[in-house]
Amino acid sequence: MAIDGLDDDTIRAVLTGVRRIALVGASANPDRAAHEIQGFLQDFGYDVTPVNPGLAGQILQGRRVAARLDEAVPLEMVDVFRASAHVPPVVDDAIRLGAKVIWMQLGVVHAAAAARARAAGIVVVMNRCPAIETSRLDIRQLT
């Protein structure tokens, strides 16, 4: 079983049920996974708002970068490209802003923050990549 305890049906429901994603830890560097995944998510059909205070106001892949998660509302999913130690404040903001899903990318795991989010009714995905999961589950582009 995956570290987040989620089954394939739940992952499929997340990936087909959300449309608006805030990507925390966005990168302008095309060699970084955050940059690649932002492009993938947009091409797949999601409405992505990149979030990075160091790049705020810039345009990444056709989208204006928000300085804070508050500027990315309304949002459904928060995709976290930050080190695990930096996850708790992102989760706190996601809870406050009414996110439905928090998705922590490969290598990103924070059990205590995940427990807080789950207690608030949020689905928490950890240590997974949406590009890998859409391929593995054979999910087609959104319509």
CA distance 100 to 94: 8
Q: Which domain holds residue 75?
A: 8-136
Say which residue the tokens 């106001």 belong to: 57
Both tokens of 86, joined, read: 């930096």
- Backbone phi, psi, residue 113, to 5°: -65, -40
CA distance 41 to 6: 21
- The enclosing domain of 110 has a CATH number of 3.40.50.720
Q: What is the DSSP letter of 102?
A: E
C-alpha 73/C-alpha 142 separation (Å) is 21
Read off the pLDDT of each residue in 27-40 and give the average, rounded to a whole number: 97
**Residues 63-116 pLDDT 10s:** 999 999 999 999 999 999 999 999 999 999 999 999 999 999 999 999 999 999
Q: Is residue 3 part of a domain?
A: no
Question: CA–CA separation, 23 vs 82, rounded Å?
Answer: 10
> Cα–Cα–Cα angle for 98, 6, 24, nearest 5°?
45
CA distances (Å), origin 89, targets 33, 36, 58? 22, 24, 23
Give the pLDDT confidence score for residue 33 in this predicted structure. 96
- Mean pLDDT computed over every residue of the chain: 96
Question: Does residue 141 belong to any structural domain of this protein?
Answer: no
Q: Does the residue 46 lie in any domain?
A: yes
Is 33 part of any domain?
Answer: yes
Split into its structural domains, the chain has a count of 1
- In a domain, residue 2? The reply is no
User: Taking CA 27 as the corner, what is the angle to CA 127 and CA 112, rounded to the nearest 5 degrees?
Assistant: 35
Cα radius of gyration rounded to whole Å, the chain: 14
* Residue 73 falls inside a structural domain: yes
Reported as a pLDDT band with limits 50, 70 and 90, residue 39 is very high
Structure tokens at 48: 């992505």
